[in-house]
Amino acid sequence: MTENILECKNLVLHYTAKKGVVKAVNDISLGLLKGESLALVGESGCGKSSLAKAIIRLLPRNIQSYTGEILIDGQDTMKLNEKQFREEIRWKKISMVFQGAMNSLNPVLKVGYQVAEPLLIHEKLKKNEAMEKAKEALSVVGIHESFVDRYPFELSGGMKQRVVIAMALVTNPAIIILDEPTSALDVITQANIMNLLKRLKKERGLSYFFITHDIALSSELADKIAVMYAGEIQEIVSADTFYKKAAHPYSQKLMASVPTLRIDKKPEFIPGAPPSLINPPSGCKFHPRCPSAFDKCAKENPPIFDLGSGHIAKCWWFEQSEGKK
């Protein structure tokens, strides 16, 4: 049986803000198998990026709580201090492609150097060895090695995105977190980048943690879907089931709101707006917008229910089926 290469148990990340405590990640548990892609979907402001940053421990200064377990290859990284985490985990076992990645390139450094930099830091290679590996990484992502001496402003959006992916790959991590990796890109460039990610996954046996708000796009990579709402996971299910018959009312609403090109279906919008993470609704966080809500939903937050075959849902409708997890 394949093991979870990444597992979160009861992960909590709360920030302090002027108006109160932002409960961005609220007791989240999920697992990613080796060689699997997990797509984390949800509306903006639900805490997806915070979850990613919690896993790779890139935290801001105003943390109120950061607890739980994060197991990477069986090792609980929460127990490591910053130095150990930096040397052993970050960019060695797991790396990340950030949202708006084209803006995370340093405009005054050459592209080749930026791709090589993780190698200089982590594997302490000599400069020319690192540059060789950087050129390799760039050609893997489809950028000609002559670009090592160019600056970011000389590259188009799609090329910058490829550079950032190269940076995430260069130290050969097993897990890559992709946070909206194609957000500002044109549709055709997006398809090309998706093709690249699919190939890399197959060739290198990578595991992806793919974060996006675009349901249709998530289907390009997802083996498994996790739906997030107001800082909590509402459903985790295989991709085959999700796109046809999602269980949670929110997942169903999300699927119904996707405009489709080939299928003749008029998209329906979800009334209301995503809740504030400082003052979320009582009980089930989705109940104010849920068409199937009943009175228990407003009072108590449902626990995770196990629906079998790794399918879980956080909804009172599943209390009868399969018992609690």
Partner 1 sequence: MSSEGYEFTIKGTLKELITYKSGIFGTAFLTLLLTISIYTVVTLPYDQAVRLWRGEGGVWLENPRTAQPYWVKYFGQNLPETIKRDSTQSGQGGTVKIITSIPQSGMKLARISFTFDFSYDGFPSELNIFFSAKYNESAPLLNIYWVKPGGTEIKLLTYIPRSQNDKLYLSINTQVSSALMSYMSGILGKAPEVPLPTEYSLFAVEDATMNSTLTAKPLKGTYRLYIEGTLFGEDSDIDAKLIVYGKVYGLAGTDNQRRDLTVALLWGTPIALAFGLTASVMITFIELLLATISGYYGGKVDSVIQRITELYMILPFLPILIMISTFYKLDLPVLIVVVIVLSIFGGGIKSTRALVMQIKEYPYIEAARAYGASSKRIVFLYIIPKILPPVIPALIGSVPSYVFLEAALAILGLGIPNLPSWGKVINESFNAGALYKGYYYWVLEPAFMLILTALAFSFLGFALDKIVNPKLREV
Partner 2 sequence: MNKNEELLKLENLKKWFELRKGIWANPVFVKAVDGVTFSLGKGEAISLVGESGSGKTTLGKTILRLYKPTEGKIIFEDKDITYYEPKKLMWYRRETSIIEQDPYGALPSFYSIYRILEEPLIIHKFGNSEERRKRIHEVLEEVRLSPIEDFAPKYPHMLSGGQLQRVAIARSLTLKPELVIADEPVSMLDASVRIEILNLLRELQENFGISFIYITHDLTTTKYFSERLFIMYAGKIVESGKMLEVIHNPLHPYTTALLKAIPDPDAENRKILRDVPPGEPPNLVNPPTGCKFNPRCPYKMDICLKEEPAMLEPEHEHFTMCWLHAKK
We find the least distance from the C-beta atom of residue 257 to partner 1, in angstroms, to be: 23
Place of tokens 């130095």: 83
The 3-state DSSP composition of the chain as helix, strand, coil percent (nearest 5) reads 35, 25, 40
Of 179, 223, 232, 235, the residue at the interface with partner 2 (CB under 8 A) is: 223
* Of residues 244, 236, 247, the one with CA closest to residue 310: 236
Nearer to partner 2, 216 or 298 (CB): 216
Of 2, 18, 203, 320, the residue at the interface with partner 1 (CB under 8 A) is: 18
For position 62 contacting partner 1 by CB under 8 A, the verdict is yes
Q: At what angle do helices 127-140 and 111-122 cross, to 10 degrees?
A: 120
For position 83 contacting partner 1 by CB under 8 A, the verdict is no
Nearer to partner 1, 62 or 139 (CB): 62
What type of residue sits at position 280? Answer: P
Q: What is the DSSP letter of 2?
A: P
* Of residues 157, 199, 203, the one with CA closest to residue 181: 157
We find the least distance from the C-beta atom of residue 62 to partner 1, in angstroms, to be: 5
Residues shown for the chain: 325
For position 258 contacting partner 2 by CB under 8 A, the verdict is yes
We find the least distance from the C-beta atom of residue 16 to partner 1, in angstroms, to be: 8
In sequence order, what are the residues at sequence separation of 6 or more whose Cβ sits closer than 8 angstroms to the Cβ of residue 297? 283, 284, 287, 290, 316
Nearer to partner 2, 119 or 175 (CB): 175
**Sites of contact with partner 1 (CB under 8 A):** 16-18, 61-62
Enumerate binding residues for partner 2 (CB under 8 A).
Answer: 37, 43-45, 156-159, 186-192, 194-195, 198-199, 213-223, 238-240, 242-244, 255, 257-263, 266-270, 273-274
